[in-house]
Amino acid sequence: MKKATVGAMVVGTAATVAVVAVVLRHRMGKSSKWERARAILKEFEEKCATPDGKLKQVADAMTVEMHAGLASEGGSKLKMLISYVDNLPTGNEGGVFYALDLGGTNFRVLRVQLGGKDGSIVHQEFAEASIPPNLMVGTSEALFDYIAAELAKFVAEEEEKFHPPPGRHRELGFTFSFPIMQTSINSGTLIRWTKGFSIDDTVGKDVVAELTKAMQRREIDMRVSALVNDTVGTLAGGRFTNKDVSIAVILGTGTNAAYVERAQAIPKWHGPLPKSGEMVINMEWGNFRSSHLPLTEYDHAMDTDSLNPGEQIFEKICSGMYLGEILRRVLLRMAEEAGIFGEEVPPKLKNSFILRCSHNSYKKLYRTPEMSAMHHDTSSDLRVVGDKLKDILEISNTSLKTRRLVVELCNIVATRGARLAAAGILGIIKKMGKDAPRESGSEKIVVAMDGGLYEHYTEYSKCLENTLIELLGKEMATGIVFKHANDGSGIGAALLAASNSVYVEDK
């Protein structure tokens, strides 16, 4: 009897030891996997580092490229496009003006009533329409006829008080957010379509002429006074309410900047010097690149897989369309090599650009709300992070440790983007010669900002603003002001129609 009991005990002890060994191996496995996850994070953080010295190198490189782009067409990755806007709003504009904002698969028409000397917008209203998919790949005439029909409907429904005086045309600012070679304030030829449009017979044509013909077919008594890029519109909108605005930056799905340059500092400008002595330059800074940019293997892989490899490198590390995708790629590697979401790699995590939002047609398309929501999560259990991982990626039951890791990654990606955007702005300030204090004290620099990333991703915008102040130094920092100039693509276009009105002398 005793022997049987001892035998049972020996067997039991062996079984216990085996269980303990399995548990220990499991724990050690989990521990080593977690160490691997932390190692991936640490390496990523080091490669994304943006110390002040590096940012100043980026700013200097931006200034050099600006000079090159102004010297000759094709002289730089920065296009430095001449906007033909040499007459920005003064705040004294009065009257009723219209805007047509064609930025993608939706477009808006706006009516803006300006109050004259009191510098106010008395009244504004808009209508919005989607472009049917067949018109995005049809003919130029069909597309512009559709747009003109919506414009005609908008005008037909307006109150009599908005009608122009006898003998005057209505005047329109046309925001056209596709690559164009501008030839005057109200003309420009389409270089290529983007954003899903493919209408061959528009390429190489003047888009203002195409719209004008369509308006004539619809018998709309309206003249296009200004053809506008949305960043230039943001600058105009900012200047209307603040005469010190001289730079505009859009940080949304993509990113771009515009600024006021001395006309004499544009070697490639061969026309007569404008009376104002100034010219707004549309930088197209998303295409900036430099050896000083802190690029990682994830950025290179994303660029290789993109529709435009080798292009828009600055945009791909700073703007809203790409931040969530960089985050996804790092999480995927952690899932594959460190099993942070369990034994199996979640299938949804393999879907490119899944960390994005749907199209919001009135606001600019903005694609990192899941990431910003996770980054902004202040709950003790990071519940928002857990919910987003479950809703978007179908990953359930994440540990608090894993959720904290996700927030750390959000912070690394957003911080790099925001600090590099700040370095870009510093490059513009240097080019304008406003980066050093003057005898009369520091010069006021007002930057008009717009775009969903800047407006809604608070951690990003705070980091950007603080970084620029830090880079300029305490003495200069007092003169820096960031102004949210909402809806430059719409109101800014109407304001530029006003400041370039053929009737401006009459007023």
- Model confidence over 101-125: pLDDT tens digits? 997 788 999 999 998 877 688 889 9
Q: What is the pLDDT of residue 360?
A: 41
For residues 176 and 102, the answer to whether their CB atoms sit within 8 Å is yes
For residues 235 and 258, the answer to whether their CB atoms sit within 8 Å is yes
- What are the tokens at 445? 């620099």
| Strand-pair partners of 245 | 446
Instruction: Name residues whose C-beta falls within 8 Å of residue 195's C-beta, 6 or more positions apart in sequence.
Output: 104, 105, 178
Can you tell me the distance from the alpha carbon of 352 to that of 301, in angstroms, rounded to the nearest whole number? Answer: 12
- What predicted TM-score, i.e. pTM, was given to this entire model? 0.88
- What are the tokens at 450? 């717009």
Q: What is the pLDDT of residue 22?
A: 46
Catalytic residue among 206, 230, 299, 303: 230
Catalytic residue among 30, 117, 153, 195: 195
Can you tell me the distance from the alpha carbon of 220 to that of 486, in angstroms, rounded to the nearest whole number? Answer: 29
Can you tell me the distance from the alpha carbon of 349 to that of 335, in angstroms, rounded to the nearest whole number? Answer: 9
Q: Which residues of the chain have pLDDT under 70?
A: 1-30, 119, 356-368, 439-442, 504-507
Q: What is the pLDDT of residue 41?
A: 97
Owner of token pair 């105009």: 236
pLDDT in tens, 300-351: 999 999 888 999 999 999 999 899 999 999 999 999 999 999 989 999 999 9
Can you tell me the distance from the alpha carbon of 441 to that of 366, in angstroms, rounded to the nearest whole number? Answer: 39
Which residue from 411, 415, 410 is spatially nearest to 327, judged by alpha carbons? 410
Owner of token pair 């010297």: 71
| Strand-pair partners of 285 | none
Q: What is the pLDDT of residue 30?
A: 64
For residues 178 and 247, the answer to whether their CB atoms sit within 8 Å is no
Can you tell me the distance from the alpha carbon of 407 to that of 390, in angstroms, rounded to the nearest whole number? Answer: 15
Question: Between β-strands 121-130 and 106-115, what pairing exists: parallel, antiparallel or unpaired?
Answer: antiparallel
Q: What angle do CA 124, 454, 237 make, to 5 degrees?
A: 35
Measure the CA dihedral 53/59/65/67, to 10°: -120
Report the Cα 239 to chain-centroid distance in Å. 20
The question of whether 195 is a catalytic residue gets the answer yes
